[in-house]
Structure formats: structure tokens, C-alpha cells
Amino acid sequence: MSAPTADWRPDPLLTIDDVAGWLGKPKNTLYAWHSRGKGPRAIRVGNTLRYRRSEVERWLDDHTDPER
């Protein structure tokens, strides 16, 4: 595996609080979505969920109304 390039930055991992605030949804909604396979894809880190910012943005794009 090669070393990352000098300008490479990791995709930030957001907490469930971060995503709940961003989406304006309660944390319980995000937990329910996760258990049902809905909502943005999450990563389990220990006993907590983390979200890649890019995954949340992709999920938002996928759920944006089409242009009219």
C-alpha cells in the first residue's frame, strides 16, 4: 500500500450529534434509520456510529427532488 499524497485529507467522520444537527432530525431517528438500513451509511466505531461527510452528502443528493 502506498503512502497518501501530501495533499490527501481523510474524509471527516461526523458524530451522530453532528449529523442530527445538520439534518435537523432527532438522534433517535438516525438510530432508527440505521437499524432499518435507511438514512446515510454509517460506520460503527466501538459502540458509537460515525458518518463520513461524503456519505451524508451523497445520501442528501440521492434524496433531493429532481429539477423541474
Across 26-38, average pLDDT: 96
Across 14-42, average pLDDT: 96
Tally of structural domains, the chain: 1
pLDDT of res. 10: 82
CA distance 28 to 31: 5
pLDDT of res. 7: 83
Residue 53 lies in a domain: yes
State the residue range of the domain holding 53: 13-61
Residue 1 lies in a domain: no
Residue 19 lies in a domain: yes
Tell me the per-residue pLDDT of 41-53, one tens digit each, with 9 for 90 and over: 999 999 999 999 9
**Quick check: 59 and 41 in contact, CB under 8 A?**
yes
Residue 6 lies in a domain: no
pTM: 0.79
Residue 20 lies in a domain: yes
CA distance 31 to 62: 20
Largest separation between any pair of C-alpha atoms in the chain: 45
